[in-house]
Structures are given as C-alpha cells and as structure tokens.
Structure 1
Amino acid sequence: MDFLSEKNVFVTGATGMVGSHVAERLAEAGANAVCLVRSRDPKSYFYGQKLDEKCVSVFGDLKDAGRMADIISRYEIEIIMHVGAQPIVGAALSNPLETFRANVDGTVHVLEAARNSKAVKAIVVASSDKAYGKSEKLPYTEDMPMGGASPYDVSKSCTDLISLAYAKTYGMPVAVTRFGNIYGPGDLNFNRIVPGAIMAGINGTALDIRSDGKMVREYLHVEDVADGYISLAKGIGKAKGEAFNFGSGERLTALEVVEKVGKAMGRKIGTRILNTAKGEIPIQYLSCEKAKKLLGWKPAYNFEKGLELTIPWYRKLAGRKKA
C-alpha cells in the first residue's frame, strides 16, 4: 500500500466499524488519515485501538456543509473514504428525516466540497446492496437499476445515484461500493444479527430475531471490506464513475448465522422469532465478478474464519462492561 504513504486521506464515519478499520489500514500504510468523529466512545474500535493517537481526529457532522468544505480544504485532502452514514434500517423507519439528512445531504456536502477542491484525486462512497431494492433477479449485478421501498434503502440508492452523477457530470474521480452485510470487531449495533448472537452467547441469553429467521444475506468480514475500499482508491483510474459489488459468496439465513455463531462459541444459542421486521428484503446476494476482474479483489475470510477473528473482541468488550 505504498501509494497511500504520506497521502492526506479523509475518512468519514471513522468511529464506526467500517470507518475505524479503514482508518487503521491507512495508519499502517503511512497515510495522513484525517478522521471525522462526532463524539468520543471509548468502546469503539477506533479508540480501543488507539487510532486517535495515529490519526488526526476532527470533530464535525456530515450535515454541516461548511465543516466538510473546511476540513477538505484545510487538510489538503487527496483521497476521501466516505463511509459515514446512519446505517440502521430500524432507525431509518423511526426517523426518516435524520436518515435522509445524514445519508443523502451528507453525501452531497462531501461531494460538493470535493468538487471545489483541486487536491482531491479519489473519492470512494459507501452505498449498499440495499440500494437495489427487492428484485426477482439474483444475484444483483452492477448494471441493475437502483430501487428501494423503505427509507433506509432509498437513502442508499439516492447516495449511489448522486455519487455517480457527480462522477459523470463533473468528471470527478468517484467510485461507489455496494457491500452485503458486514460484521467484525467494532460493530456496537447489537440489534444486528452477528454482534447480537455473539453477545447472547456470552451472556447465556436467548436472541430476539425480528424477522422470521429465514431472510437470506451474505456476511462479509470487515477486513475484506477495508480491502475493498483500499482497492478502489488505488484503482480509481479504472474505477471512477463505476459502482462495485462486494460480497462473501456465502448465503445464510438469520437462523443459520445464529447456529454458526453458537458452534464457534461452543454453545447453543436460543432464539425467539418475533417476525416484526418491516421494510426488510427477504433475499439478497451479489455478483462480485466486476470487483474480482477489475480490482483483483476477493474475500479472504469465510464466515467461520471471520468469527474466529471477531468473537474475542466481543469477549473483551463484555469483560470491560463487567469491570
């Protein structure tokens, strides 16, 4: 990753799971990582790994257009990893306005600031497989139209379309990521299936499953996700104006995820099927052929190996909570 050495890289959402792992990779590569944070959470991977000592932390909010412009200008940003967003489907249902402000307005603010900068050479924007909406045709391929019926899904399809519009209209070096479900150390959203199941296993409690337990997803380890971001930044010459799918190739139901987590932890995890989920798509999986061919990217971790790298982090977190 020599190409990142001494580069000024702006990471939004740096204290989230994905942002913190991207920031860690940048610090290891010798980049000058400028990390956007809204508040200091000592439980986060970012602070747990002392990334605040290896990166420049800047406080701010994506909804503040002036702040985004100031950061990108002041630090002479060359690469932008726009990972920050309101990432929870349920939260988008209860507060769609805040979700659209963070995900849609926030993206426009970052892109506008980049458009007015002469220094920015690469922008990688996080969309999602949810941007495709529900489709009878699977796997999703990048040439399929954007969709979405729920606020979260639409916020990501808007993010996606806006980003590619900036690339095509203004010739900006923008590439878009569409990841499946992501798991790994640092995810503090315990209503998600993987961290929720791990904590249920640690605490010896049953896990509430909001769906019917049969919804199918791909689960990609966060280290593979960080690889995807780095690959796109490095390959922006051939990636600009394009969107890329990234997935694991492993399709699992929610109940299968819980079973595999229990097996990895050496115990059976009980479940309660609530079947109350709204706005969720029954089955989603991605074709990643484009990323493999153009970027040379492929996942390094299957689900079992990924859990081996993930569960110890949550055990340590639980130990700190009890202390």
Structure 2
Amino acid sequence: MEGLGVTSVHGTISTGVSDNNYWSGKRIFVTGHTGFKGGWLVAWLQYCGAIVKGYALPPDTDPNLYSALNISSLCQSTFGDVRDKSKLFSEISEFSPEIVFHLAAQPLVRRSYDQPFETFETNVMGTINLLESCRQQSELHTILVITTDKVYQNNELLMPYREDAPLGGHDPYSASKAATEMVVQSWKKSYFDPENRIRVATARAGNIIGGGDWSVDRLIPDCIRAIQTSSCLTIRSPRAIRPWQHVADAINGYLLLAEKMYDNESLLSDTFNFGPSGNDSVSVADVVELVNDHCGQKLLYMFTEDPDAPHEAGLLALDSSKARSLLGWTPRLSAKEAVKVTLDWHDLHDKSPTSQALLDYTIGQIKAR
C-alpha cells in the first residue's frame, strides 16, 4: 500500500463538480448518515466545505464507518428514525436545509424476507415522512432520493435497464424500493409541481462496494469476516452477475445531479441510473477470486446453489447513458479496480489507524487514485 490517499489503481474520481467551492457553505441534510454510503457522502461534503446535518438510526454493525471516520465530528448528527414523522420534521425545520439527500433505508434483500413490515415502513413510509416534512421548508431547493437498481421488473435479460423500464420487485426489499419510486413521482406531481420551487429526483445505483461496509449478507464484507475468523464462507449463486461499482463513483453521480437540479435545470429533476460500464459486469465467483488473490489465498469458501434459498436476481445490469449524456457522469473505476480499492481501504483499517488518518485516506480515494 502506498501513502495515504494514493493506491496503485490508475484513474481519478472528480469531486462531482468542477469547483469544490460549489458546495462550500451550502446547508445539506442527509438521512442515513450512519450507514456506509451516507458516511462517504458526509465525508465528501465536509471536505468540500458544506454544512451538513445527518439524521439516522445508530449504526447497526460493529465495526462501522460512522465510528471509523468519526463522522459525528464532520456534521451535526442526530439519531432518529425516519418513521418518526414529528421528530424528522422538527430536525429538518430546525436546520432549514437547501438540499436533502435521502439515503436512510432498510437496504438488505435477505433481511427484507424476515422483516417485510419494517422494510416497507422504513423505505416507503419513511420517504413519505421525508417528503411531507420537506414540503414546508422555505429554503429548500433540491431533494434527491436514493433508491436502487433492484426497482426494475427484472426478467433476467441481457439488455441493461433504462430509467423508463417497468418497475417491479420479486423480494420485499425490491418491491419497497419500487414503491418508493412511485411515491416520489406522486408527491412530485401532486405537491412539488407546477411551481417547481423544490426540485425532486431519484437516483438508482448498482451493487455499491467500498471501504467501511460491514453489512451482513454482502459479499465483500462476508469475505473479509471469513478471512479474519478463518471460517469457511458459503457463496450463494456464484454465477450471478451484479453491476459492481465503487461508492465514490455512485456518490459522484449523486452530487452532479443535485448540483444541476440546484442550478435550476428543472429538466434534470428526474430519475437517473448510475451503474458500471455495460461491458463491466462481473460474477459473484469472479469477485470472490479477486478477494482471494488480494489476500494471498487465505479465503476459505465453497460455492453452492440452494434451490430453497430466497430469490435473488441472477442477472442485473443498468443503462447509464442518460447520466453520461446529460450529466457528463461516467464511472472511473472498473469492477476489478473497485474491488482492489475496497480491499486496500480495509487493509489500512486493520492496522488500527487514527480516525483522522483513515478519513485522510478516504478523501484521498475520492480525490485521486
């Protein structure tokens, strides 16, 4: 591993805008800031000089990115549930944001089978509570709701899904996120138009990986835990193809879209896919082999195909040409590079650096690699 903020992977990731000062001083409200993507977003915004307030449940893993980067020192942090409408409204109103990023969610497919009510209450009603709270904010310009690539009616086709493809959802998580998309469109047309003072959009990204994700039932975190505990990892659906991408690429897209919306480009208040290049989909088995190569063949694993396991998509790909043409966005890292950068981050974390050193490294991965 090279010095802080630099790895052997070639390529750069811009900070999402041509000038970092664009975000300086702007008041940004982020739900889900204690989570993986939310933590990266807060770190990025704080680096750009934004004034950030986070609202989320306490972290649900140990370790977690919130503690590892000392996220509470980077923003005004409040622990709360998006299902608590009165508290959410109070926190948003007190902060009076200009831009809202809504990332709070129950994000796990397999957990949604066990907790369908929690999944729908959090993902659907939580979004309604947010939108209702935002309707009454006088300084608010932009709302970006983060959903997922899994909102599509997935027929396991080779053709990647465009934003206008039919929505669906085989599992409760996917269905809840598809319902969230419909909620956003309904509220947008019913309450935020035609005056369009507050612009609303949704963003759909692929299988996001990166440093600081320790969630259960996610492939790379599961691999890391198996290595650390010298246990054998059972790999479900090794032939499944996923749109793997680095977290910084996805957040780069979120920031670009929010910037354009804020700058009164109302035609961009729409739905956007942010996924890897069309020829860059990698199988679960390929990712496992990349992890094993990185760690010196220390990962013990076995592949299995369980016909009785809960359904998970075998093939899923996104068409991100709209983001490329209208936002100038493109992923900077290939799937293989994203895996390496993720493992580099965890290599450093395992050396018990200070929170500041790990934050510096995280910002370094954002700035240049």
Is TM (by shorter chain) over 0.5? yes
**1:303 and 2:323 matched:** no
Give the whole-Å Cα distance in 2 for the aligned partners of 1:113 and 1:233: 19
**Which residue of structure 2 aligns with residue 114 of structure 1?**
134
Question: Separation in 2 of the partners of 1:253 and 1:136?
Answer: 14
In the alignment, is the contact (CA less than 8 A) between 1:216 and 1:252 conserved in 2? Answer: yes
CA distance in 2, matches of 1:101, 1:189: 20
2:302 is the alignment partner of 1:272: yes
CA 1:47–1:269: 2 relative to 1, 3 Å: closer
Give the conservation status (yes or no) of the 8 Å contact 2:42–2:74. no
Are residue 294 (structure 1) and residue 326 (structure 2) matched?
yes
Q: Give me the identity figure in percent.
A: 33
Q: Distance in 2 between matches of 1:94 and 1:318?
A: 32
Q: Which moved more, 1:44-53 or 1:151-160?
A: 44-53
How far apart are residue 307 of structure 1 and its match?
2.6
Equivalence for 1:194: 220
Alignment CA distance shift 1:210-1:239 (3 Å)? farther
Residue equivalent to 2:276: 248
- Of stretches 1-10 and 287-296 in structure 1, the one that deviates more from structure 2 is 1-10
CA distance in 2, matches of 1:191, 1:314: 17
Match of 1:209 in 2: 235
| Distance in 1 between residues matched to 2:34 and 2:65, nearest whole Å | 7
Q: CA–CA distance in 1 between the matches of 2:186 and 2:281?
A: 32
**Larger RCO (alpha carbons 8 Å, 6+ apart):** 2
Q: Secondary structure at the match of 2:302?
A: strand
What is the aligned partner in structure 2 of residue 13 from structure 1? Answer: 32
Task: Find 1:76's aligned residue among 91, 96, 111.
Answer: 96
**1:158 aligned residue:** 179
79-88 vs 191-200, which moves further: 191-200
What is the letter of the counterpart of residue 186 of structure 2? Answer: A
For 1:126 and 1:110, the matched residues in 2 are separated by 12
How many corresponding residue pairs? 319
SS in 2 for 1:182: strand
Q: Secondary structure at the match of 2:55?
A: strand
Aligned counterpart for 2:42 among listed residues 13, 16, 23: 23
How far the C-alpha of 1:44 sits from its partner, in A, is: 1.9
Q: Which runs of 5+ in 1 are unaligned?
A: none
> For 1:20 and 1:239, how far apart are their aligned partners in 2?
29
The one of 82, 86, 93 aligned to 1:62: 82
> 1:271 Cα deviation (Å)?
2.4
- Report Cα offsets for 1:103-153 as digits up to 9, x if no partner: 000001111111121211111111111100312542000111111121111
Q: Distance between the aligned counterparts of 1:257 and 1:42, measured in 2?
A: 24
Alignment partner of 1:235: what SS? helix
Question: What is the Cα deviation at residue 290 of structure 1?
Answer: 0.5
What is the TM-score when the length of structure 2 is the normalising length? 0.82
Q: 1:174 aligns with which of 177, 194, 200?
A: 200
Shift of 1:58: 1.2
Inter-partner Cα distance in structure 1 for 2:115 and 2:347: 32
State the Cα distance separating 1:242 from its structure 2 match.
1.1
Tell me: CA distance 1:6–1:65, structure 2 relative to 1, closer, same or farther (3 Å). same
Structure 1 residue 217 displacement after superposition? 0.6
Between the aligned partners of 1:53 and 1:234, the Cα distance in structure 2 is 25
Aligned to 1:185, the other structure's residue is in SS state coil
Unaligned segments of structure 2, at least 5 residues: 1-19, 353-369
> How much does 1:259 deviate?
0.8
